[in-house]
């Protein structure tokens, strides 16, 4: 008996196979430099860990309400007000099991069979896969330096169809690290609203910006759906906690979905996340952001020496999207050889791009500067043999 046809539209995430191969080489005694997975080498901040321990000791292990602990929803709303000047009703926030839980709720609410979704190409692959599981068709809009590696208002207007129901974008983006500024984001919101569609913005790398001030679409419109996470800026990857900010009228059906799909986010993780908003934790997180900025600059300098630096440096997140067409038109083979010959693990672009991924790779600057410089030296040796 065949599987559901929608499942067949979900492609494998190739970086995970490469990660397994890199870990196997490491176990065999090779010195592997990991630049493939979007997880910096920082531990969860100690105030968060301490709050998690305290929650367990206090017995906070029972179910929370489906939309999350009220105190955490209030803390997230306070974060929007303090950091971005955005007045957000805590009732509009649903705490979810990771940003993936938020995306699952949004996709199931907003699209279905025969609906079309506009997304940037390249983009994080799970975004389009969630839409496919909801039955929608994704229109992957090629982006590049001409649009600042973002899905801007002019591209949305050009590719809008009668069946287009949703636009999803990410700022800062994965895999390119590029951002929309406030004027560009407002133009996107207005363009979507004029056409009667929905806007879903992935802000999970919000806070990790180096050249532009962090911003949120919630400062510009109350009508956008916003996915965010405690994984990236807050360093809580394994705690599996995120949130969805939604228009008021969407909260009730989203809550019903949450009750049925995952019941509630992990309760101990929710208590731990309260500490992420303390001044002590904020100071540590900002120091980490500055360190990631230094890593970005060191990696860009090394790639510039090889003539490989991107023409538009990433403004946020912790990725570089690198054109390797001078050396290869098969990013999977390129990454496999680089791992086997030089023990450097990076991600093939075919994971992220429907068009052009075969001659791009993603490099995550998630390890220290000395290791990044060593990775560039190994890459230089590898390219010299091609």
Q: Report in angstroms the alpha-carbon separations of 75 from 83, 93, 276.
A: 12, 10, 10
Q: Which two tokens stand for residue 173?
A: 């983006």
Are the beta carbons of 304 and 322 closer than 8 angstroms? no
Q: Are residues 122 and 12 in the same domain?
A: no
**Could you give the CA distance from residue 175 to residue 319 in angstroms, rounded to a whole number?**
6
User: What SS3 state is found at 359?
Assistant: helix
Do both 240 and 379 map to the same domain?
A: no
Q: What is the pLDDT of residue 37?
A: 86
Q: Which domain holds residue 338?
A: 5-43+281-384
Are 100 and 178 in a shared domain? yes
Distance CA 238, CA 12 (A): 21
- Do both 302 and 168 map to the same domain? no
* Structure-token pair, residue 200: 């879903």
Query: Residue 105 to residues 34, 66, 98, 115, 210: CA-CA distances in angstroms?
Result: 32, 12, 11, 16, 31
- Do 12 and 82 reside in the same domain of the chain? no
| Number of independent structural domains in the chain | 2
Last residue of a domain, one of 248, 278, 308: 278
Same domain assignment for residues 333 and 296: yes
Question: What does the alpha-carbon distance between residue 294 and residue 123 come to, in Å, rounded to a whole number?
Answer: 25
User: Are 27 and 53 in a shared domain?
Assistant: no
| 3-class state of residue 225 by DSSP | strand
Say yes or no: 270 and 162 in one domain: yes
Q: Answer with the one of 278, 309, 324 that is the final residue of a domain.
A: 278
Where residue 262 sits, what CATH number does that domain have? 3.40.640.10
* Boundary residue ending a domain (278, 302, 329): 278
Q: What is the reported pLDDT for 1?
A: 66
CATH number at residue 306: 3.90.1150.10
Structure tokens at 252: 């009730």
- Judge if 168 and 128 occupy the same domain: yes
Burial profile 146-177: b = 16 or more Cβ within 10 angstroms, e = fewer: ebbbbbbbebbeebbeeebbbbbbbbbbbbbb
- Predicted TM-score (pTM) of the model is 0.95
Q: Are residues 199 and 59 in the same domain?
A: yes
Q: Are residues 28 and 118 in the same domain?
A: no
DSSP 167-180: EEEESS-TTT----
Residues 310 and 347 in one domain: yes
DSSP H/E element including 305: helix 279-305
In tens digits, the chain (386 residues) has pLDDT values of 677 777 777 777 777 888 899 999 999 999 999 999 889 999 999 999 999 999 999 999 999 999 999 999 999 999 999 999 999 999 999 999 999 999 999 999 999 999 999 999 999 999 999 999 999 999 999 999 999 999 999 999 999 999 999 999 999 999 999 999 999 999 999 999 999 999 999 999 999 999 888 999 999 999 999 999 999 999 999 999 999 999 999 999 999 999 999 999 999 999 999 999 999 999 999 999 999 999 999 999 999 999 999 999 999 999 999 999 999 999 999 999 999 999 999 999 999 999 999 999 999 999 999 999 999 999 999 999 98
CB under 8 Å to 5, separation ≥6 — which residues? none
């Amino acid at each position: 008996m065949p599987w559901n046809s929608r499942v067949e539209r979900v492609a494998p995430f190739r970086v995970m196979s490469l990660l397994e191969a890199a870990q196997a080489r490491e176990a065999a005694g090779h010195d592997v430099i990991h630049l493939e997975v979007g997880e910096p080498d920082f531990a969860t901040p100690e105030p968060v860990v301490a709050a998690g321990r305290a929650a367990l000791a206090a017995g906070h292990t029972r179910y929370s309400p489906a939309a999350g602990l009220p105190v955490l929803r209030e803390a997230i709303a306070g974060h929007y007000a303090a950091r971005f000047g955005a007045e957000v009703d805590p009732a509009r926030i649903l705490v979810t099991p990771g940003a993936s839980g938020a995306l699952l709720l949004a996709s199931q609410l907003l699209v279905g069979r025969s609906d079309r979704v506009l997304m940037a190409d390249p983009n994080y692959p799970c975004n389009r896969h969630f839409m496919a599981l909801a039955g929608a068709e994704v229109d992957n809009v090629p982006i590049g330096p001409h649009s600042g590696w973002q899905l801007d208002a002019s591209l949305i207007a050009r590719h809008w169809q009668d069946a287009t129901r949703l636009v999803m974008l990410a700022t800062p983006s994965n895999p390119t690290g590029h951002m929309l500024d406030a004027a560009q984001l407002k133009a996107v919101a207005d363009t979507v609203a004029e056409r009667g569609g929905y806007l879903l913005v992935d802000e999970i790398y919000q806070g990790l910006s180096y050249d532009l001030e962090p911003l949120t679409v919630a400062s510009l419109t109350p009508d956008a759906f916003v996915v965010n996470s405690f994984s990236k800026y807050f360093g809580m990857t394994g705690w599996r906690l995120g949130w969805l900010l939604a228009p008021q009228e969407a909260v009730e059906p989203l809550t019903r979905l949450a009750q049925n799909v995952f019941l509630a986010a992990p309760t101990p993780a929710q208590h731990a996340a309260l500490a992420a908003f303390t001044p002590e934790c904020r100071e540590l997180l900002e120091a980490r952001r500055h360190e990631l900025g230094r890593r970005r600059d060191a990696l860009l300098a090394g790639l510039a020496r090889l003539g490989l630096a991107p023409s538009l440096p990433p403004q946020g997140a912790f990725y570089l999207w690198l054109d390797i067409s001078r050396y290869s038109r098969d990013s999977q083979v390129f990454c496999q050889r680089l791992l086997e010959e030089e023990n450097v693990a990076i991600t093939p672009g075919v994971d992220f791009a429907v068009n052009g991924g075969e001659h791009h790779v993603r490099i995550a600057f998630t390890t220290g500067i000395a290791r990044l410089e060593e990775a560039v030296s190994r890459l230089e040796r590898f390219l010299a043999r091609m």
